[in-house]
Each structure stands twice: as C-alpha cells, then as structure tokens.
C-alpha cells in the first residue's frame, strides 16, 4: 500500500505515491521488465532442448556442442547490443522511447521464431538481439533517474526490480517450457511474444508517471522550457567530480566487470549444460507418492509466487488506475491469460498417472528462490550489516562455486563417457538454491554500483559496457558448456562440474582480498 514519503523521488506527483517503500513508477518498470524477461527466459529455456531434440520430436537433431555454441553466441550478442542501444538513447531517442521500440522489435523476433523454418529462427534471433540492445540498458537508466536524489534507497530498488526480472523468468520458463515440450516447440516460442507485446503496451501508456525522466534530448529541452515559462523550474546543477576521482571510480567498475565475466561463465550453464544434465542425466519420471508430492509442490511453487505478484499488481492498480487506466487494462489482461494457462497446465498434470518433470522445469527454481529471498536480501543491504561491494561480489562467486560442488558430488556415480544416467533431482534443487543466493549477492549490486560510480551523462553508455562483460561471460558459458561431451569422455561428469566449482571460488576469494584497495578507489561511494 502507499505511504507518506520522507523525501521526494524524481518524476510526477503520482510517482511519489509509495508502494513497498518505493515510488510507484518502479513497479511500472518492474512489470515491463517482468514481461521482457518472460519472453527472454521462456525462449532460452527451450532453445537448446529444441535444437538437440530428434527430428521425430520436432527438433533439429543438432549436436550438444553446436547447440551450445549457438546458445553462447546468442546470449553474448544479447549483452553486447546494449552498448549501441545505450548510445542511441543517450544521444537521440531517450530512454523511454528506446525501451518501447526495443520491446516492439523483440515482439517481432518471437513472432518470427514461432514459424518452423531455419530462416525465421535466425531472423528471430537477430530481432531479439537488436530489440534487447535498445531495451535492457535503458530501463535501468530510468530507475537511475528516479533515484537520483535517493541514493541510499537504490540498492533496495534494484533488488526489488531484480525480483521482477525473476518473476518474468519464472513464468516464462514454466509456461513456455511446458508448452514447448508438450504441445510444440514453436508454440512455446510464440507464447513468449504475446507477453512481450502486452508488456510494451502497459509501459507505453503509463510512461507519463516518470515526468521528464527518460525523454529524448530534444523533448527534455522542450519540457524544461515549458516549466521555465510557468515559473516552476528548479535549478539543477551537476556536481563536477575531479578527473582523478572519476578515473579511479572507472577502474572500480572495470574490476567488478572483470569478475562478473567469471560469474556468468559459470552461472549461465543453467541454460546449457545444466539443462542437458536435467534432460539426460536426471531421473525425471515420477510415479506413485513421488508424483503426487511433485504435483502438490509444483502447484504451490507456481500459485504462491503468482499470488504474491498479483497482489503487487493490485496494489499498483489502487495507485495508478485513475490516471493510467489503459496501461492497467493491458497489464491486467496479461495476468488473466497467465492464470488461465497455469490452471490448464496444473489440471493436465493432476490428470496424469505418471508425471515426467519437464527438463526446463528445473530452471524455474532460480526464479522461485529469487522471488522468495530478494526481499530479505534487500533489507540486509539497507541495514547496518550491508557489506562492501567487493565482499558481496566475493560471496556471490563462492556460493556459485558451492552449487557446482553439489552437482559434482551428485555425478560421482555416473560412469566415464556416459551419455545418459538417472540421478536424483535433489542435486539440481540444491545447486539452484546456492546459485540463486550467489546471484542475489552479485548481480543487482553490480547494476547499482555502476549507477553510483559513473557520471549521470554516461549512465546509458556505461550500462552498455557493463553488459558487454556479462555477454563475454555468456559466450564463455556456451563454449565451455559445449565441452561437456569431450570432458566426460576423457574424464567424467564430476570433473566437468569441478571446473565450475574451483574457478568461481578462487575468483571470489581474490575479489574479497581487494576490498581495501577498491574502497579507496571509490572515494566515498558506498
């Protein structure tokens, strides 16, 4: 519910009506990002499975190495394109228009992938890369504008925003994965586009809540002139940071970006080798009590987070419906569709005698854990127990390594060179828990510190550079994951996962050791 503000956020008067202690506009962005992540992770969940499935099952029968190679290239380009999108928004489009155009282009990408032809798949991937470049850096830049004068609330804001990211990922993986594996791969790809389109519309018709934030350079001048003519313009002066201090802060961003590469090179095995592990090496066929337990657990896992998100939606409606009714209608329509698909899916699962857990299902655990733990982590970051950025990064990398240690241990009974096995699903459940806690310690904090350490005029560009580091990690993930067959043939699957255990833990210990140096280079930024 809304509450009285203690200080003013940027944007319109309505943006200063609070929800969960933050401006209501944050939740417009929350839901916009949620549907974009629905589309991205829904497609990502089934891409490798589709490419490696047999022709008789509607797939393309690619080798694991080739499929993971395309996966790595796609996810790399997804994170490379924001550098251009950030530049275009900074100089010409403005953040808001860039977000809307990017969302529309991604809608076209998913529509293309719904067609069952090679050319449409590659065209769709191209659209998704281009649209993401306009969307991804600029929606976070709008958040930075909202919190320009509320820096102490920014870590918590990005963590809540990150919960929206993972709510979308959760629903996208769950529903696109289920429909892709049970109805048809291209129906799964197409479903992702429906919600991308609805997300674009709800953002477009509610963007006025941000006032002057995110307008194009020319529109910003017009807006300022209008205010000045009314005699209401407040003089704003940028605080000029000395060159040496700013240089040191850029060094901090570069060091954090370097360690980010190691994190994502391991973490993004979730869409590659961990999906293959779930598909080919995990016992997913459940019957009897095991099947019943899964059905009940899956129902709770699906319905409870969706109820929480729907509650947040309702609270936002109470604040914004009077002025942004059309946006709310599009957003409400998307949730009606979601609930209908969820009820249909759960009804089908309870009607089955035996339950085969979809291989893509395990990926929703990451999103579920984030929805569950993000509020707690957000409160910790706003408390006296808030550690320095480098300690957060180190903890994230170490937890990630521990997650792969669990998989390495769970794989000890799989023979050298085996292409299939039937290990317990418990190992993936535990691994995703540790990976998620690591992600919450590192990823949203990285975005927050970039926005604190760079000048406001360079924020779009610097978010783009940050995502290049993430993209390099994603490409490394595809390349290294593609070696799964070679490493398991020469050694075993445990050795494969131990590589992703040792490297992140060592990187985490190094970045923690750099804490005194990094604190000095930040020159007071915390």
The 10s digit of each residue's pLDDT in 442-465 is 887 787 888 888 887 787 678 778
Residue with tokens 């973490």: 267
What's the chain's Rg over C-alpha atoms? Answer: 23
Find, among 288, 424, 443, the residue nearest to 362 by Cα.
424
Mean pLDDT, all residues of the chain? 88
Q: What is the mean pLDDT of residues 231-246?
A: 66
Residues of the chain with pLDDT > 90, as a percent, come to 56
Residues of the chain with pLDDT > 70, as a percent, come to 94
pLDDT at 232 over 60: no
Q: In the Cβ-directed half-sphere of 146, how many Cα atoms lie within 13 Å? A: 34
Q: What is the mean pLDDT of residues 352-374?
A: 85
The 10s digit of each residue's pLDDT in 389-425 is 899 999 999 999 999 999 999 999 998 888 888 899 9
From residue 294, alpha-carbon distances to 287, 346, 350, 366, 523 in Å are 9, 11, 10, 17, 51
pLDDT at 7 over 60: no
The 10s digit of each residue's pLDDT in 138-150 is 998 898 888 888 8
pLDDT at 266 over 70: yes
**Per-residue pLDDT at 372:** 82
Tokens of 56: 């008789």
**Per-residue pLDDT at 160:** 84
pLDDT at 228 over 60: no
The 10s digit of each residue's pLDDT in 153-194 is 887 787 788 788 878 988 999 999 999 999 999 999 999 999
Neighbours of 318 (CB within 10 A): 13
Q: DSSP label at 207?
A: G
Q: What is the mean pLDDT of residues 224-229?
A: 49
Phi, psi of 284 (to 5 degrees): -105, -5
Tell me how far apart the alpha carbons of residues 57 and 169 are, in angstroms, rounded to a whole number: 25
Residue 433 binned pLDDT confidence (cut-offs 50, 70, 90): very high
Residue 274 binned pLDDT confidence (cut-offs 50, 70, 90): very high
Residue with tokens 């940050």: 466
Residue with tokens 């020319």: 218
The 10s digit of each residue's pLDDT in 20-69 is 888 999 999 999 999 999 999 999 889 999 999 988 888 999 999 999 99
Neighbours of 240 (CB within 10 A): 8
Tell me how far apart the alpha carbons of residues 132 and 109 are, in angstroms, rounded to a whole number: 10
pLDDT at 227 over 60: no
Residue 235 binned pLDDT confidence (cut-offs 50, 70, 90): very low
pLDDT at 252 over 80: yes
Q: What is the mean pLDDT of residues 424-440?
A: 94
**Per-residue pLDDT at 161:** 87
List residues bridging with 286 in a β-sheet. 355
**Per-residue pLDDT at 325:** 95
**Per-residue pLDDT at 236:** 45
The 10s digit of each residue's pLDDT in 379-392 is 887 777 788 889 99
**Per-residue pLDDT at 144:** 85
77 contacts 129 by C-beta, under 8 angstroms: yes
Domains belonging to the chain, first-starting first, are 22-225+241-522 (1.20.1250.20)
Residue 152 exposed, middle or buried by CB count within 10 Å (0-12, 13-18, 19+): exposed
Reported residue count of the chain is 526
Q: DSSP label at 93?
A: I
358 contacts 173 by C-beta, under 8 angstroms: no
**Per-residue pLDDT at 296:** 93
Give the CA dihedral 9, 11, 14, 17, nearest 10 degrees.
Answer: -10
**Per-residue pLDDT at 490:** 93
Higher pLDDT: 79 or 384? It is 79
């Amino acid at each position: 519910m809304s509450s009285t503000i203690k200080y003013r956020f940027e944007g319109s008067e309505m943006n200063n009506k609070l929800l969960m202690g933050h401006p209501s506009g944050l939740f417009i962005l929350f839901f916009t990002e949620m549907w974009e992540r629905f589309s991205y992770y829904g497609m990502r969940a089934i891409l490798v499975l589709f490419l490696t499935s047999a022709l008789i099952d509607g797939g393309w029968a690619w080798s694991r190495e080739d499929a993971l190679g395309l996966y790595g290239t796609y996810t790399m380009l997804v994170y490379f394109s924001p550098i251009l999108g950030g530049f275009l928004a900074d100089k010409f489009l403005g953040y808001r228009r860039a977000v809307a155009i990017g969302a529309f282009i991604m809608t076209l990408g998913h529509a293309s992938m719904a067609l069952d032809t090679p050319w449409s798949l590659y065209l769709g991937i191209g659209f998704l890369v281009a649209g993401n470049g306009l969307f991804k850096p600029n929606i976070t830049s709008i958040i930075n504008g909202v919190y320009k004068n509320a820096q102490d609330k920014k870590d918590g804001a990005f963590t809540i925003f990150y919960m929206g990211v993972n709510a979308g990922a959760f629903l996208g993986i769950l529903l696109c994965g289920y429909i892709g594996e049970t109805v048809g791969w291209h129906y799964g790809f197409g479903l992702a586009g429906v919600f991308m389109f609805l997300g674009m519309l709800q953002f477009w018709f509610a963007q006025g809540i941000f006032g002057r934030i995110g307008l194009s350079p020319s529109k910003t001048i017009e807006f300022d002139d209008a205010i000045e003519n009314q005699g209401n313009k407040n003089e704003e002066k940028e605080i000029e940071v000395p060159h040496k201090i700013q240089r040191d802060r850029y060094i901090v961003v570069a060091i954090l970006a370097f360690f980010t590469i190691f994190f994502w090179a391991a973490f993004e095995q979730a869409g590659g080798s961990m999906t293959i592990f779930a598909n080919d090496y995990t016992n997913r066929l459940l019957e009897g009590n095991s099947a019943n337990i899964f059905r009940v657990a899956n129902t709770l896992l699906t319905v409870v987070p969706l109820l929480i998100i729907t509650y947040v939606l309702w609270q936002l409606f109470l604040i914004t419906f009077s002025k942004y009714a059309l946006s709310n209608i599009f957003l409400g329509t998307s949730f009606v569709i979601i609930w209908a698909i969820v009820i249909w899916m759960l009804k089908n699962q309870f009607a089955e005698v035996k339950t085969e857990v979809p291989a893509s299902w395990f990926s929703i655990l990451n999103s579920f854990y984030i929805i569950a733990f993000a509020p707690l982590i957000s409160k910790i970051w706003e408390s006296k127990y808030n550690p320095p950025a480098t300690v957060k990064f180190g903890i994230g990398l170490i937890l990630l390594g521990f997650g792969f240690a669990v998989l390495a241990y769970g794989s000890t009974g799989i023979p050298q060179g085996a292409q299939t096995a039937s290990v317990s699903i418990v190992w993936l459940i535990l691994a995703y828990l540790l990976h998620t806690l690591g992600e919450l310690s590192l990823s949203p904090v990285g975005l927050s510190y970039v926005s604190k350490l760079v000048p406001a005029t360079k924020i779009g560009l610097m978010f783009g550079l940050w995502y290049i580091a993430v993209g390099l990690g994603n490409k490394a993930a595809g390349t290294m994951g593609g070696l799964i067959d070679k490493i398991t043939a020469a050694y075993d699957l445990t050795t494969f996962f131990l590589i992703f255990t040792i490297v992140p833990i060592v990187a985490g210990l190094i970045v923690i050791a750099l804490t005194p140096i990094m604190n000095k280079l930040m020159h007071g930024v915390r």
